[in-house]
Amino acid sequence: MPNYTITNFTSKETIGSSVFAGNMVSSGTMTITPRPNHVVFASDFSVSSLPNFVSSVSFSDTTTAGKIGNKVTVTINLDNSLAIAGNTNIILDIDGDARIYDPTLDTSSFFLRIIEDSSINVNATSSISAESGFTKNTPTASGSITTTKISGNLTINQLTKIGTISLNANTGFHFISTLRIKCVNISDEDIIIKQASVTNSNNRATAYTYNLFLKSNVNIPDSNSASIIIYYKGKSTPVIKKEITQVDFGPSIVSKDGELRPIKIIGNVGAEFNVAITNSSNVSVLTSKYANKRIVHPFSATLSVFNKQLYAVDNKILSSCTIFQKFPAGADTYTITIFPLSDTTLKTGVASTYTINQYADPTITIVAVEGSGSPNYSVTNVDRKNFTFRANSDPRSLGVTKPYIFDINIVCDIPGSETFSITKTPTWSSTNQSNSDWTNSVASDNGGTKIEIFDIAVALTNSNRTATITARAIVKQYGNANVTMNLDVDNILTAS
């Protein structure tokens, strides 16, 4: 049984929350308390391996290490991969134990200088901090030499963490080796540097953190000038571009009957990304065999995506992958979303979202309507034209069963002794609605259906009691919405 007790860390979270989304806790603490007649040192505890969903664990003393009343705070930082799907138990395997308290232990004082030369240590910077309970003075500079001093009291012959040395490579640089030190006026057996962490970018170290430990059985006065000289160097990092350079998915319309459509993503070798394909309800329609990952998404707790990193083929700089996406039958709007990951970016001109439309077969209706004027007359032959067609198609490609050139023949009769006179000959415009006697004649306003009506004429017969309006029409482009084009005969004929 260990000579300490430890609290648990518990947090109540909502199903679907995640560290990545920032809607749940990202860290927590536990407290190690020594049993009676024991003391604890944060430096005595460690975790040999991190469990799933934990990115780092650190230990810190609440007061002075090894003193009565001191406790150790265990800080757990949760990994971005943690998403709550149910009760989650994380078990830390903590190494170390409390020590039996020995009141006879004595302490020694020390002063330690940390020296660096900026003419040697280039393309990177350092940061030195003192551990809690120790003092760091303001660094002093003389030419290219900077000196930082840490002082305090040590338990005799007890290796103690007194500070931290952090190294950060300048932007565009990385470290070519780990930290090196040289001991001056102090035995190298009394100084230990332990690497605590390393940050890598493209398998190159860009940052280090080192813990500085000191042991002594005698006082080390300031006059001894006990020192360590630190050495490090940054090297220029070659720029590795990771871009998505092209997204190719063919036409922006899929058939109402459903369609198997190749979607090709092209980019630099090493580019990594997620691809989501959703419908107008923000529900994934990604073909199941490509759904190899789920991510947190603003419109749903999680979303199925295709995760891919491009690999080199025949030593070429660019690579690609293709998704063969099955779009279902129906009418909907689909969105392809590209999520670049890590240091991958989108090339200028490459969008992160693309829209594919799926339309039902719309209908064109061309018809004449009777006016409300007086005296009354009737349109005895409205010559109603109805065409159902494939959205956004060229009518010439649909064959003779879908005519696109046709005649219009409208006949109006008036009862009794009244007669017609011609007010005007109807006009047609597919670009300016105010110049057209038929409604919805402008393609940009009616869903994209473009028609031209020409050879328009009005003739009176039967002693001006019958009026006939004739014209020819051609459909140049079918649109994506139902459209009715009405001719109000009251604007063309006057009955009296």
Report the pLDDT value the prediction gives residue 187, as an integer from 0 to 100. 92
Q: Give mean pLDDT, residues 245-265.
A: 93
Report the pLDDT value the prediction gives residue 241, as an integer from 0 to 100. 82
- Of 27-31, 84-88, 240-244, 338-342, the poorest mean pLDDT is in 240-244
Report the pLDDT value the prediction gives residue 401, as an integer from 0 to 100. 45
Report the pLDDT value the prediction gives residue 198, as an integer from 0 to 100. 94
SS (H, E, C) the chain: CCCEEECCCCCCCCCCCECCCCCCCCEEEEEEEECCCEECCHHHCEECCCCCCEEEEEEEECCCCCCCCCCEEEEEEECCCCECCCCCCCCCCEECCCEECCCCCCEEEEEEEEEEECCCCCCEEEEEEECCCCEECCCEEECCEEEEEEEEEEECCCCEEEEEEEEEECCCEEECCCCEEEEECCCCCCEEEEEEEEEEECCEEEEEEEEEEECCCCCECHHHCCEEEEECCEEECCCCCCEEEEEECCCCECCCCCEEEEEEEEEECCCEEEEEEECCCCCECCCHHHCCEEEEECCEEEEEEEEEECCCCCCCCEEEEEEEEEECCCCEEEEEEEEECCCCEECCCCCCEEEEEECCCCEEEEEEECCCCCCCCEEEECCCEEEECCCCCCHHHCCCCCCCEEEEEEEEECCCCCCEEECCCCCCCCCCHHHCCECCCCCCCCCCCEEEEEEEEEEEECCCCEEEEEEEEEEEECCCCCEEEEEEHHHCEEEC
Report the pLDDT value the prediction gives residue 397, as an integer from 0 to 100. 57
pLDDT tens figures, 126-136: 999 999 999 99
pLDDT tens figures, 174-220: 998 999 999 999 999 999 999 999 999 878 899 999 999 999 888 89
Is pLDDT at 308 greater than 60 in this prediction? yes
Report the pLDDT value the prediction gives residue 108, as an integer from 0 to 100. 83
Q: In percent, how much of the chain has pLDDT > 90?
A: 70
pLDDT tens figures, 383-418: 788 777 777 776 665 554 445 788 899 998 888 788
Report the pLDDT value the prediction gives residue 481, as an integer from 0 to 100. 87
Q: Domain locations in the chain?
A: 4-100, 107-236, 243-358, 363-495
Is pLDDT at 310 greater than 60 in this prediction? yes
Report the pLDDT value the prediction gives residue 396, as an integer from 0 to 100. 63
pLDDT tens figures, 355-380: 999 988 888 888 888 766 555 677 77
pLDDT tens figures, 447-492: 899 999 999 999 999 999 999 999 999 988 888 889 999 999 989 9
Report the pLDDT value the prediction gives residue 455, as an integer from 0 to 100. 95
pLDDT tens figures, 409-419: 999 888 878 89
Report the pLDDT value the prediction gives residue 204, as an integer from 0 to 100. 87
**pTM attached to this predicted model:** 0.45
Q: Give mean pLDDT, residues 260-264.
A: 96
Q: Please identify, in words, the CATH class of the domain defined by 243-358.
A: mainly beta
Distance from C-alpha of 70 to C-alpha of 38, rounded to nearest angstrom: 10
DSSP H helices, 296-361, are: none
Report the pLDDT value the prediction gives residue 300, as an integer from 0 to 100. 65
Report the pLDDT value the prediction gives residue 400, as an integer from 0 to 100. 42
Q: How confident is the model at residue 140 (pLDDT cuts 50, 70, 90)?
A: very high
Q: Give mean pLDDT, residues 422-440.
A: 95
Mean pLDDT computed over every residue of the chain: 90
Report the pLDDT value the prediction gives residue 143, as an integer from 0 to 100. 95
Is pLDDT at 439 greater than 60 in this prediction? yes
Q: Give mean pLDDT, residues 291-302.
A: 81
DSSP H helices, 113-154, are: none
Q: Which long-range contacts (CB under 8 A, 24 or more apart) does 393-397 make?
A: 393/477, 393/478, 394/477, 394/478, 395/475, 395/476, 395/477, 395/478
